[in-house]
Amino acid sequence: MKYDQFNYSLKNTTAYRFCIIFIFILSVRSLMATVIPGAYQFSKYVPSLKGLKVAIVANHTSMIGNVHLVDTLLAQDVKVKKIFAPEHGFRGNAANGEHIKNAIDKKSGLPIVSLYGKQKKPSSKELKGIDAIIFDMQDVGVRYYTYLTTMHYIMEACAENNISLWILDRPNPNGHYIDGPVLDPKFTQSMVGLHPIPLVHGMTLGELAMMIKGEKWISKANKLSLFVVPVKHYDHNTEYQLPIAPSPNLPTPASIILYPSLGLFEGTIMSMGRGTQWPFEVLGAPWFHEGKFQFTPNDIPGKAINPPYKGQLCKGLHLDNFAYDYLKDYQKIYLLWMIEMYKSYGSKPEFFNSFFDKLAGTPDLKKQIIEGKTEAEIRASWESELQLFKKIRRNYLIYAHDETRGILHPTKTSQKP
């Protein structure tokens, strides 16, 4: 006699469901005095989803304790029918820019539809029969981080297909400051930026969803039924270290702190350490002779494919201590690196590639650096648009923010590289 004759499966048993719920309760109890993400707050969204056919936009960060959101909801008898996956895939094991194929999740048996690559937005056919979508992913608070763009297209698809959208909010580890040029939608819109917001926007995805709907940055915005489950015990001055790396090349707290400043270098001939054990913690190139730290990029499955300067010895800076001791409380992107690296290369325009303007969101920053503008002059050119954004931002904040305070006051500062 074979077990499969009875379609035996542990996940279909009452015992399995009890275990999932028990693990969830233990996880919540351990977080009672700390930050509690929206996904943990079952009573705020699960009752409303009972009886509905649900799709989930999620990845490896969509965890409730040690259990994935998808598995948790299935154990709660929520009718999850489909998974939509962002850049890096549902399990978060794909390199940046790697094409993600549609697949079947081995654990749940649910179909996975990729929203990175040729298809960025669910089709009406893929949404047929779906009543609600849950969006739960960990963002890092930088405009060119693509989870925000994925959320935009999900919002638009929900509005167009009369599907309610639930954002299970999570903290922003860079949510304590606002800085950088504001994207000009008339100049560029791409996977790394769609909205007229600064490079560092100081908002959670839940707050940004409210802004996107409220400012009508999607078609049929008024038709979108949007529900945000807020984070408990959180404000924008609360220090928050992510329990799970949000993507393969942001593996440490230091890399997340450095990402707003180093991400722009994706649009240059510099290496940020992709293909090494220090992605977004180092900065260098073979021609950069002033740096004392050495590293050699190579392919790393699931993290880096043909990284810049593959197989070549690079010299540069290792910035992890600087991130913790200085940049964490700086409350600005560290623009001096870009200015000085450009000078070190000989002030040649080929220092930049065609991707830089998309990351910056404007052609002005590259022009200013080439023209030899000072950091103060460049920052002054951002000020009016930043002030306008901050004014609009206040209408959509869920969490308090004292812009003068930051998140810590370190007892020491490292020497500036």
Whether the per-residue pLDDT at 382 is higher than 50: the answer is yes
Q: What is the pLDDT of residue 410?
A: 40
Contacts of 4 (CB under 8 A, 6+ apart): none
Query: Tokens in use for 137?
Result: 């992913």
Contact 116, 148 (CB under 8 A): no
Whether the per-residue pLDDT at 88 is higher than 80: the answer is no
Contact 159, 221 (CB under 8 A): yes
Amino acid at 13: T
Contact 269, 308 (CB under 8 A): yes
CA distances from 330 to 197, 278, 410 (A): 20, 22, 10
Q: What is the pLDDT of residue 13?
A: 55
Contacts of 208 (CB under 8 A, 6+ apart): 148, 151, 195, 197, 201, 396
Question: What domains are there in the chain, each with its CATH number?
Answer: 3-229 (3.40.50.12170), 253-393 (3.90.1150)
Higher model confidence: residue 103 or residue 266? 266
Least confident of 81-95, 173-187, 219-233, 375-389: 81-95
Most confident of 30-44, 187-201, 402-416: 187-201
CA distances from 184 to 90, 180, 271 (A): 31, 12, 27
List the alpha helices (DSSP H) in 46-120: 46-49, 69-75
Q: How many CB atoms lie within 10 A of CB 354?
A: 7
Lookup result for tokens 């810590």: 408
Q: How many CB atoms lie within 10 A of CB 301?
A: 10
CA angle 265, 271, 273 (to 5 degrees): 115
Amino acid at 172: N
Mean pLDDT, the chain, as a whole number?
89
Q: What is the pTM of this model?
A: 0.88
Contacts of 79 (CB under 8 A, 6+ apart): 51, 52, 53, 54
Q: What is the pLDDT of residue 90?
A: 78
From 205, 188, 194, 191, select the one nearest 119 (Cα to Cα). 191
Lookup result for tokens 């919002």: 155
Strands 103-104 and 111-114, by their bridges, are antiparallel
Contact 202, 399 (CB under 8 A): no
Our measurement of the distance from residue 12's CA atom to the centroid of its chain's CA atoms, rounded to an integer in Å, reads: 33
What are the tens digits of pLDDT across the range 55-87?
Answer: 999 999 999 999 999 999 999 999 999 999 887
Confidence of residue 91 (pLDDT cuts 50, 70, 90): low
Q: Is 387 exposed, middle or buried (0-12, 13-18, 19+ CB in 10 A)?
A: exposed
What are the tens digits of pLDDT across the range 336-345?
Answer: 999 999 999 9
Q: How many CB atoms lie within 10 A of CB 347?
A: 11
**Listing from the earlier edge strand, what are the strands of the sheet with 132-136?**
103-104, 111-114, 79-85, 53-58, 132-136, 164-168, 226-229
Higher model confidence: residue 102 or residue 34? 34
Alpha-carbon distance of 260 to 177, in angstroms, equals 11
What are the tens digits of pLDDT across the range 159-187?
Answer: 999 999 999 999 999 999 999 999 999 99
Higher model confidence: residue 374 or residue 13? 374
Contacts of 81 (CB under 8 A, 6+ apart): 53, 54, 55, 110, 129, 130
What are the tens digits of pLDDT across the range 318-337?
Answer: 999 999 999 999 999 999 99
For residue 179, the SS3 value is strand
Q: What is the pLDDT of residue 86?
A: 84
Alpha-carbon distance of 348 to 276, in angstroms, equals 27
Q: What is the pLDDT of residue 133?
A: 98
- Per DSSP (E only), the strands in 53-115 are 53-58, 63-64, 67-68, 79-85, 103-104, 111-114
Name residue 317's beta-bridge partners.
283
Confidence of residue 118 (pLDDT cuts 50, 70, 90): confident
From 234, 205, 193, select the one nearest 134 (Cα to Cα). 205
Q: What is the pLDDT of residue 111?
A: 92
Q: What is the pLDDT of residue 365?
A: 98
Contact 80, 105 (CB under 8 A): no
Higher model confidence: residue 302 or residue 14? 302
Mean pLDDT of 209-236: 97
